[in-house]
Structure 1
């Protein structure tokens, strides 16, 4: 029996890899998937520049393959979209390995760029409607014989003899890891007035402009506030709307569906490694920051391999 602690995108994905490979699996979580930080994500598969670089490169590449497969299945919430990325300067001729993973990558022409940007690029990337996707993962997990069980608080050593820790920012306390810190994020969700391509601005630390269109909604962002634990929506909503509507006039009259917030689990390096705690083998899978979706399937496969002794 393997116990997966946490039911965000990392926990569900890891549990699916284990359960579908025939490993008896339980999922224990303080929150249901639709209440986790994962549900507040945009969400977009994209390059990860986090440490450890070689591993995050491989994990991102694996996740791309999985998401491309999922995009071909109805009801997953995953689709392949044209994505315009700006703010990172001109694409170099010698692309970083992480950027070279992007399918269909090309420079944007001047007439394709919104006012105020002199360079950008297009790619064909997986875009994930997280509420739909988390429901899909939950159904897929149930089909493999595993349900999410709610527990107010869990201790890794008392959970079982083999445990996978996918608790995000809660790993700061649960794993005793003071390098983990929360980064508050907020999105504004609007009705989709017909947008089909996604937009992402790079190169800004605290606030930026992005919008991720899904069939019935557009997720607009964004903001990052370091070391903030409070998930209450910030007054940044008005600024997010102003920036997104200035770039995409079709959003001007789109009805607001709501505001989504979450705490990204930031760490100097993504942690996917095995640790022995007494008689308990713990495999950690956390610290993904804002790239939890992009790394999810690669990290899940690595964590599953480690927990079964590979």
Structure 2
């Protein structure tokens, strides 16, 4: 990022991966940044995420791919220090049981080095097509700690408190950046924001080294295996407008059963944890600038569905661009 003297006072609402990366981009550009988050990072939806860098359940695809390519490059560089950053480069297969793999992500496929069509013998039983690729796989608890430390090193601060309005968040600031995720439903308010519930099971890894994902477009149930340092993450679900954060034992059993169809030894693997997260979905990501009723410039950055970690750095670049426009007097018009 380019150093920017005479920076602005900025409040970022939300301490998940979207909020932290946006805050880092701004702080490293010379702005005075404070993140306001009701929850500690390990209590956010980001902490439950599987952490695979791949566009998933996010619109609009064209913009999402641009953001994803930027994040891919950043995470690839961070993967050179996996113990510190939580990012590693891992080979795996993305598959589906229907369609031909031409799903609007052509620019993503072109950008991932070494990506190729999977051969028939590389596909799990019942899958019609697939892609083989080496992509970043992020241990999210470690990554979130890294982001908090990087923010602090850039002079940014974290404050653990909720806010009742964006105007409140922006008191005594020059700009407020809204990265509140699912909270934007009430905070903006934006009724288009809704949860897509995801449940997963973490088991002891019997030696699986590659990631594997099978997710048909719009499917409620998916099958994925993500080898993380803390265990093998098995998933999952994608249930629209389901608000519960409590794991469902029957759903957990079905998740393990689907994984065991591919690797029978997983049927006997010791379960380490059950987790549920609520993806902050929206018909399209809201990444725009406006002025709040009181005149405060506000940059919105929310609604990333199941692709938060995948698009975070690309979206952070957009936030930085919009804040620079505010600083240069080219920001959003009033109202």
TM over 0.5, shorter chain: yes
**2:53 — aligned with what?**
45
Q: For this pair of structures, how many residues does the alignment match?
A: 309
The alpha carbon displacement at 1:50 in A equals 3.8
Deviation track 1:186-226 (CA, whole Å, cap 9, x = no partner) reads 11111222221100002151001101111231111010111
Tell me what 2:150 maps to. Answer: 140
Q: Following TM superposition, by how much is the alpha carbon of 1:253 offset from its aligned partner in structure 2, in angstroms?
A: 3.3
CA distance in 2, matches of 1:309, 1:226: 36
Aligned-partner Cα distance in 2 for 1:174–1:95: 32
SS class of match (2:90): strand
Q: Is the 8 A contact 2:57 2:307 kept in 1?
A: no
Mapped to 1, the partners of 2:238 and 2:101 lie a distance apart of 25
Note if 1:237 corresponds to 2:252. Answer: yes
Q: Map of 1:62-141 to 2, 5 A cutoff?
A: 62-74=70-82, 75-87=84-96, 89-91=99-101, 96-141=106-151
Contact 1:168 1:287 in 2 (8 A): yes
Contact 2:38 2:162 in 1 (8 A): yes
Question: What RMSD over aligned residues (CA atoms) do the two structures have, in Å?
Answer: 1.9
Checking the alignment, whether the CA contact within 8 Å between 2:14 and 2:179 is kept in structure 1 is yes
The match for 1:294 is: 310
Give the drift of 1:95.
7.3
What SS does structure 2 have at the residue aligned with 1:252? helix
Among candidates 208, 227, 232, match of residue 218 of structure 1: 232
* Distance in 1 between residues matched to 2:238 and 2:214, nearest whole Å: 13
Q: Does 1:199 align with 2:199?
A: no
SS of 1:51's partner is coil
Offset of residue 252 of structure 1: 3.4
1:253 and 2:268 are equivalent in the alignment: yes
- Residue 184 of structure 1 deviates from its aligned partner by 0.9
Is the aligned partner of 1:173 residue 2:181? no
Report the counterpart of residue 303 of structure 1 in structure 2.
Answer: 319
Work out the CA distance in 2 between the residues paired with 1:147 and 1:250. Answer: 46
Q: Deviations over 1:33-66 (max 9, x none)?
A: 1000001111111135743344222211111111
Aligned to 1:60: 68
The residue that corresponds to 2:6 in the other structure is none
State the distance in 2 between where 1:240 and 1:47 align.
22
1:42–1:300: structure 2 CA closer, same or farther, 3 Å change rule?
A: same
What is the TM-score of this pair, normalised by structure 1?
A: 0.94
Q: Is the 8 A contact 2:57 2:306 kept in 1?
A: no
Deviation at 1:119, TM superposition (A): 2.7
5+ residue gaps in structure 1? Answer: none
Distance 1:143 1:57 in 2: 30
Could you say which residue in structure 2 is the equivalent of 1:27? 35
From 184, 207, 211, give the equivalent of 2:197: 184
Distance 1:129 1:214 in 2: 6
CA distance 1:305–1:154, change in 2 (3 Å): farther
1:48–1:264 Cα change, 3 Å = closer
Moved more, 229-238 or 7-16: 229-238
